[in-house]
Amino acid sequence: MDGGYRITLTLDERLPTRDASPELAVDGRSLGEAQESRDGRTLTLVTTDPAAAHPSSVRVAWQGVVPGATPRSAAATTGVPAGTPITSAPEAAGRYGVTRADYDFGDTALQLSGLTGVPVEERAAVWVPVGASGKRPVVVFLHGRADACYDPDAGTFDNEHWPCVNGLEPMPSYVGYSRPAETLASQGYVVVSVSANAIGAFDQSTASPDRGGLARGQLVMAHLDLLAKADAGTAPGMSSLLKGKLDLGNVGLMGHSRGGDGVVRAALLNAARPTPYGIRGVLPLAPIDRTRPALTDVPMAVLLPYCDGDVSNQEGQHFFEDSRYTSRTDSALKSSLLVMGANHNYFNSVWTEAYGDDWDLYVDPADPTCGTTAAGNTRLTFEEQQKTGIAYTAGFFRMTLGKESAFLPMFQASAGSAVRVGAATVLQATQSPAAQRLDVAPLQAAAANVTFAGKVLGQYCASIAGRSPQSGLPSCSDSTATSRFPSFTPVTHTANVPATPMLHMTWANGGQMTAALPSGRYDVSRYGALTLRAAPDGANNATDLRLTVVDGAGRTQSTTVSALSDALSPLPAGNPDVLPKTWLRTVRWPVAQMTAVDTTDIRQILITTATATGGVLLSDLAFTTPSVGTGAPTKLPQLSVADTTANENAGTATVAVTLSKASSLPVTVHLQAMASTGTQIAAGAKQVTIPAGQTTTMVTVPIQDNSTVDATADTRYEVVLGYPTNAVTGKNTAYATIHDDEA
C-alpha cells in the first residue's frame, strides 16, 4: 500500500484466547500488535517498517516472543532470592459464616459506550458475611479475557459469539476467585465478583479500540451503581441480604489480567464523578496496561507472576512506574510485587481447570526455571499459588479498607527487598506516600544536586530498542526481548511514549555518584530508611555498590547494597526471550543503623562502585517510612482528547487536549498517534504541556499526503493520551478522521 505495508497471515486454526494480544513477526522480529479477525484465524498488521517489504517468514508472536523461534537456555543462572518470612496470616478464615447473594440479569442487560454495539451481561457472584453488624466494606473482583463460551463436558470453547450459541454455556470465569472471596467474606467484607464475558469476546475487535479497558471500567461502575440501589432497597431482583449492608464509602477493587486494566480505569472513572464512591484500594493482578494511565491518591499494589506465560512482558509494571511521580502530593502507597514461581492462570481456579498451566502452554514446559517438567524448577504448585493469592488479596484489602497495619510488610517491608509468604518468595518495589518520603534524587533526568566523578558514566535512559527517540534519551537496553524488561516494555496503544526514565550507571576502574540533600531538609531521623531501587543492567553479573551517608560535620558511615539486599544479583534465567527479568527492587538501609553520623544533619549520599567494572540501573533515591497513606479518589484534574477531522492534503490534523479544571502546576501528558488502518498518519508520540492556569492546548499531528485513491474515502486513526503528570487521564482515546482528497 502507498507509504507502508499491510501484512496478512491466515492460520490453520483459531488463535488461543489469551489476555496478551497477538502480534506479527517478520523474519523472527515482532513488528507490533495485529488486528485479529472475529474467527481468530486471520491477523493483519499495517506498518511502515522496511522489514515488511520482502519478508522470508511471517509468524504469530506474543509479547515480542515468537514461539519456538529461539533456543532454550540450558540452565537457570541463580536461585530464588531469600525472603524475610511474614508471620501474619491474612488468609486465615474469619469469625463469620458466609452466604451467597448472587444476581443475574441476563446476557444482554447492559450497553457500554466502551464496547460499541455489543450487549453485555449483568451477572455477579456475591459473598456476604453472616451476622456481621452494620454496613460492610465492599470488594469488587473483575476477571480478564478467557473464552466467553464453552462446553465443559466436551472441552470445546468459543470466543467468537455472544450470547453463546450451539448449546455452549457462558464460561464462569468470575467464580474462579471463590476462595479469596470466601476468605474475605468470613472476615467481614462483602465480595462481588463480576462476569465480563461479552467484553472478552469483542475486545480484540473494532467494537473496543482500547482492548476493553474503558468498557471494563464502565462495567465495574455499573455494578457499583446497582449495588448502591441494592443497599437502598430500590433494586428489584437483588437479594434482601444486601439492603443496608454495603459501605460504598469503603470500596476495594481487584482485577486479574485485562481486569487489572479495567479496575484502574474504574478508579479513574469514579474520581471523575461529582459524588464518587469511596474506592480506597486497587489491586491489579498479573495485569495488562494498554494506555499507561496513572493512579494517584489510592493505595495500589501490582502483583506480577515471574513465570507468567500469557502476559509474559508484565506490562502492568507501568501502573506502578507511571504513578510514582504523577503528583507531588500523592497520599497513597504504591507497590509492585514480583511473585517468584507464579504463573498467570493459577490465580483463577476456573482457568486452571479449563486451560492448565499457561507457561507450559505458551513458553516451554522444560524451561529450567519456570517449566513444570524441569528438575529443580522454581514453580509454585496450584495449591501454593492459590494460597499466595488468597493471602495477598485478603491482606491488601484488610490493610487498605480495614486499616489493619499488620499486613503492611507484605507490601512494603522495613528492611530487605523480598518477603516470604507461605511457599512464595515475593520481591518488592515500593514508594511511600509523599508525606512519608523525602525525595533526594528520583534519577529520572539530570539534576543539579547529582554529580559523577571518576571513571563512572551516569546516563539517563528510557525504554528499550529505540522505541522513544523523541524523548532525547538513549534506550536503557538495545534488546528487543521485551518480556525481559517489564519497566520498559512498549505498551500497545502508547508504543512510543517514553517508558520509565532512570539512571544507567556504568564504570570501569571505579567511580562515584554524589547526591546532595535538598537545602534545609537535612534531618532524616524521622524516616525509616534510605531507599533506592536497583538492578543489574544485564551486562555484568558481579556488581555491587557502596552507599555512604555524610553529615554536616563530615562524618561518614557506609554499607554495601549486597549487605542490605540481593537486588544487584541477577534473577533466575531460562528461555532467553523471557528470562531473566531485569526488575528493580527496593533496597532499604534503616536510618536506625546509621549510628556513626548525625541523622538530624545528613548532607550527602555517595554511591561508590564496589567492583572493578559493572553496570546498574538506579531509580528513586529517597528517605522513606513505610505507610499505606490515606486513600481516597483523586481530585487531580482529568485529561481528555477530542475527535478531529482533516483533509489528507492539509499537512496536519489538529487535536484538542483539555483539562476538566485548571491546575496550579503545568500538566504534561504524552499523545500517541497510531497508524492502525492506513498510513496517512505516521505512528509516533510527543509530549504535550498545558500551562498552569489553562485548560486547553491544541496539538498538531503530521499527515502524509499521497497521490492515489485510498481504499476508503475516510480513514480513522487512533490518538491516545498516556503517562500524565499533575493530572490523570479521563477520555484518553479519540480519532483523527482523514479524508482522502483524491477520493
Cβ neighbors of 279 (< 8 A, separation 6 or more) are 251, 252, 253, 266, 267, 270, 271, 298, 633
**Residue range 165-178, pLDDT digits in tens:** 999 999 999 999 99
pTM higher than 0.85, yes or no?
yes
- CB atoms near residue 672 (< 10 Å): 25
Q: Which of the four pLDDT bands, split at 50, 70 and 90, describes residue 74? A: very low
For 22-26, 211-215, 469-473, which range has the lowest pLDDT when averaged over its residues?
22-26
Q: Average of pLDDT values for 129-158?
A: 96
pLDDT above 70: residue 730: yes
pLDDT above 80: residue 47: no
| DSSP letter, residue 571 | P
**Residue range 591-646, pLDDT digits in tens:** 999 999 999 999 999 999 998 889 999 999 999 999 999 889 999 999 999 999 99
Mean pLDDT of the chain: 93
pLDDT above 90: residue 133: yes
Judge contact between 319 and 283, C-beta under 8 A. Answer: no
Kindly write down the DSSP assignment for every residue of 577-610, as one continuous string.
Answer: TT-S---PEEEEEEGGG-TTS-TTSEEEEEEEE-
**Residue range 341-380, pLDDT digits in tens:** 999 999 999 999 999 999 999 999 999 999 999 999 999 9
Q: Which of the four pLDDT bands, split at 50, 70 and 90, describes residue 1? A: very low
6 vs 502, which has greater pLDDT?
502
279 vs 42, which has greater pLDDT?
279
Give the model's pLDDT for residue 609. 94
Q: How far apart are CA 6 and CA 395, in angstroms?
A: 49
For 53-67, 317-331, 589-603, 611-625, which range has the lowest pLDDT when averaged over its residues?
53-67
Q: How far apart are CA 212 and CA 194, in angstroms?
A: 15
**Residue range 527-542, pLDDT digits in tens:** 999 999 999 998 756 7
pLDDT above 90: residue 29: no
pLDDT above 60: residue 73: no
User: Which of 561, 583, 553 has the alpha carbon at shortest distance from 571?
Assistant: 583
- Bond into 163 cis (ω within 30): yes
**Residue range 203-256, pLDDT digits in tens:** 888 888 788 899 999 999 999 999 999 999 999 999 999 999 999 999 999 999
Judge contact between 245 and 284, C-beta under 8 A. Answer: no
Query: Grid coordinates 479497558 are at which residue?
Result: 213
User: Which of 139, 108, 138, 136 has the alpha carbon at shortest distance from 123?
Assistant: 108
128 vs 56, which has greater pLDDT?
128
Helix, strand, or coil here: 63? coil
User: Which of 667, 649, 648, 656 has the alpha carbon at shortest distance from 700?
Assistant: 656
Give the model's pLDDT for residue 78. 60
For 206-215, 389-398, 434-443, which range has the lowest pLDDT when averaged over its residues?
206-215
For 12-16, 258-262, 286-290, 561-565, which range has the lowest pLDDT when averaged over its residues?
12-16
Q: How far apart are CA 416 and CA 626, in angstroms?
A: 13
pLDDT above 80: residue 24: yes
